[in-house]
């Protein structure tokens, strides 16, 4: 069975985009996997690049963990852990830092974009080497299938290059070349402003927030200013686009028809979307809120996962160290 691995940064509870493009498809693969063939982790080391308050990082890891479990992740065969609990990955990241040409990383989209948008004084070296740590997450376990959102494709490409680069330098196939696994249907979930859903853009639909916040986010979806009576285009409206991602086909068609006919306002459409989200995710929301009250249980589960992952990582790292002529560690 091919090894699957994925991670989500711990920057607050996962939004609808993360859930549709990463959590749901990954849970489905992980729950069919054989022993130790799937790895799901909370990328808290990656989230350090943006979070100013250190305390929130730990707290956010609980939200991510609870979300995975609420969506039914079975941890019998899956290694489910916090990235910072298996810090051996940072050693591998250092080796990659030393092998990979600086000039190539400068070309990474995410880095270039932030260089344009953020005050340069706030850009850390961590932001620059982010793809290197991500490559280490993947290559440490020789993972082959990486479910990610579309925005992460370049990072996977960098991991592939690093693997090839390192294999060539060492003269041995030490690293398997990973492949991104893209959920075709939901590969690009748009946020309330019609741009890619992302925490930093504050355009998320947070299904694990309170009813009031969720409703407020949905009411904030941007629309044109057509009156209730006017006919509307269901193909371009953001409420409709979001509804289409989660509702069954017959319900989507009914709503589209209402748009085309006119006499159906955006407010009503938003209420329909809100109610459908509450209905569709009612089990997961209940489970999430209940798990968030059991932090020691979450700590326990993540510690078990980290222990297993550490054993595998240690063995792999020793094999890599051997090729670098370093001593084994235990």
**Of the candidate residues 30, 73, 79, 146, the single one contacting ligand TRP (CB under 6 A):** 146
Which position has the token pair 């990072």? 155
In angstroms, the CA 221 to CA 202 distance is 11
Name which position in 40, 57, 145, 148 contacts ligand TRP (CB under 6 A): 148
C-alpha closest to that of 133 among 306, 9, 307: 9
3-state secondary structure of 53: coil
Q: Which of 44, 63, 114, 137 binds ligand TRP (CB under 6 A)?
A: 137
Phi–psi pair at 127, nearest 5 degrees:
-65, -40
Residue 138: CB minimum distance to ligand TRP, A: 5
Question: Quick one: which segment of 2-10, 234-242, 266-274, 285-293 binds ligand TRP (CB under 6 A)?
Answer: 2-10
The strand pairing partners of 82, in sequence order, are 42
State the residue number with the nearest CB to ligand TRP.
7
Is the CA virtual torsion 198, 251, 232, 269 positive or negative? negative
CA angle 156–160–164, rounded 5-degree value: 170
| 44 interacts with ligand TRP by CB under 6 A | no
Nearest to 28 by CA among 68, 73, 90: 73
Q: Looking at beta carbons only, is 134 or 272 nearer to ligand TRP?
A: 134
Asked if 140 touches ligand TRP (CB under 6 A), the answer is no
Q: In DSSP terms, which residues pair with 241 in a beta bridge?
A: none
Q: Rounded to the nearest whole angstrom, what is the least distance from the CB of residue 302 to ligand TRP in the complex?
A: 16
* Choice from 46, 160, 270, 316 touching ligand TRP (CB under 6 A): 46
**Among 4, 6, 61, 270, which residue interacts with ligand TRP (rule: CB under 6 A)?**
6
Q: Does 43 bind ligand TRP (CB under 6 A)?
A: yes
Structure tokens belonging to residue 322: 């051997």
What residue ranges bind ligand TRP (CB under 6 A)? 5-9, 43, 46, 134, 137-138, 146, 148, 152, 155
């Amino acid at each position: 069975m091919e090894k699957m691995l994925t991670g989500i940064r711990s920057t607050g509870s996962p939004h609808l985009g993360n859930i549709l493009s990463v959590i749901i498809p990954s849970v489905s693969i992980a729950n069919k996997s054989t022993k130790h063939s799937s790895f799901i982790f909370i990328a808290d080391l990656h989230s350090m690049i943006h979070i100013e308050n250190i305390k929130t990082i730990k707290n956010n890891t609980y939200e991510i963990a609870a979300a995975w479990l609420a969506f039914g992740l079975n941890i019998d065969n899956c290694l489910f852990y916090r990235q910072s609990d298996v810090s051996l990955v940072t050693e591998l990241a250092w080796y990659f830092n030393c092998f990979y040409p600086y000039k190539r990383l400068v070309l990474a989209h995410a880095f270039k974009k932030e260089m344009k948008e953020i005050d340069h004084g706030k850009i850390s070296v961590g932001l620059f080497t982010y793809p290197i740590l991500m490559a280490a997450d993947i290559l440490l376990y020789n993972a082959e299938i990486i479910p990610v959102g579309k925005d992460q494709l370049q990072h996977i490409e960098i991991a592939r290059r690093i693997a090839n680069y390192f294999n060539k330098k060492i003269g041995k196939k030490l690293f398997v070349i990973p492949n991104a696994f893209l959920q075709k249907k939901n590969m690009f979930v748009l946020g309330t402003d019609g741009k890619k859903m992302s925490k930093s853009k504050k355009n998320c639909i947070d299904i694990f927030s309170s009813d009031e916040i969720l409703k407020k986010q949905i009411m904030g979806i941007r629309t044109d200013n057509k009156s209730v009576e006017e006919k509307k285009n269901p193909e371009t409206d953001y409420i409709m686009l979001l509804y289409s991602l989660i509702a069954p086909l017959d319900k989507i068609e009914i709503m589209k028809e209402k748009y085309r006919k006119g006499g159906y306002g955006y407010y009503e459409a938003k209420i329909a979307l809100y109610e459908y989200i509450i209905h569709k995710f009612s089990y997961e929301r209940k489970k999430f809120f209940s798990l968030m009250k059991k932090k020691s249980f979450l700590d326990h589960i993540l510690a078990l996962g980290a222990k297993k992952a550490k054993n595998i990582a240690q063995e792999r790292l020793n094999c890599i160290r051997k090729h670098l002529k370093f001593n084994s560690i235990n």
